[in-house]
Amino acid sequence: MAPQVFFHCYPTALGHCGIAWTERGVVGSPLPEETPSLTRDRMWVRFPAAREVTAFERLPVAVQAACEGVRALLAGEARDLLEVELDDSAVPAFDREVLALTRRIPVGQTLTYGEVATRLGHPGAARAVGRAEGHNPFAPIVPCHRVMGAPSAGKAANLTGFSAAGGVATKLKILAIEARATGQQAGEQQDLF
C-alpha cells in the first residue's frame, strides 16, 4: 500500500509554492505559481489522493524546515537545501542519478545538460538529462534551473524549454537571485544575458 501523501501551499518572494510529502520525505515541490489557487490546483493534479495541511504549525518539523529553506532561497539567501529529505522512490533510476548530481550544483553556478551527462558517465545523453530535468518533481530543492542547454546563436547558454510556471522568465529570476546571493552580477554564471 502506498504511503499517504500530504501537501501544503505557502507564499514565497516569487509566488506561491507547494510541497508534498510522505513519512519517507518530500515527494513533490513545484516552483511558484502566481496565486495560491493555481498552486493548490497543481498539487491536486499531481497528488489527487493527497490530504492538504493548511496550517504551517501542523506540518512535520522537517517539512517546515524545507518550506523555510525554499523561502530563504527565493528571497535571496545562498541556500543549497541539501538537508531536505527526499522520497525519490517513484523517480526512474536514470532521473534519480541526474537529480542527485543536479542537487549538488552550488548556488551561483550552472552546468549544461551535456556537462551533467558527461559527469554521470553518459556523454552524449544531454537530451535524456534535459528530459530528466524537465520532469524534476523537487524544484527548487533540486535546482534544475541551474542546468541549461549548450551555447548557441552567440549566447553562452541556451535557456529554452524551462517547463515551470513562468517558463524561462522564472528560471532567469531565480538565477539572478542566486547570482546576487553569491556576490555575482546577474548572468555571470555563464554570460546568460
CATH number at residue 165: 1.10.10.10
Taking every pair of Cα atoms in the chain, the longest distance, rounded to a whole number of angstroms, is 52
> Within a domain: residue 188?
no
Q: Which of 170, 137, 146 has the alpha carbon at shortest distance from 29?
A: 137
pLDDT tens digits along 131-152: 999 999 999 999 999 999 887 6
Judge whether 108 and 189 are in contact, CB under 8 Å. yes
Could you count the other beta carbons within 10 Å of the beta carbon of residue 117?
Answer: 22
3-state secondary structure at position 12: strand
**DSSP secondary structure letters along 19-67:** EEEETTEEEE-PPPBSSHHHHHHHHHHH-TT-EE---GGGS-HHHHHHH
Whether 148 and 101 share a structural domain: yes
pLDDT at position 30 over 80: yes
Q: Hey, what's the cell of 71?
A: 523561502
Domain range for 40 is: 6-74
What DSSP state is assigned to residue 85? -
Average pLDDT over residues 85-95: 97
> What is the reported pLDDT for 192?
47
Could you count the other beta carbons within 10 Å of the beta carbon of residue 56?
Answer: 12
Catalytic positions, written as ranges: 144
Q: Chain-centre distance of CA 127, in angstroms?
A: 18
pLDDT at position 172 over 80: yes
> Within a domain: residue 169?
yes
Q: What is the CATH number of the domain that holds 36?
A: 3.30.160
Beta strand pairing call for 6-12 and 51-52: parallel
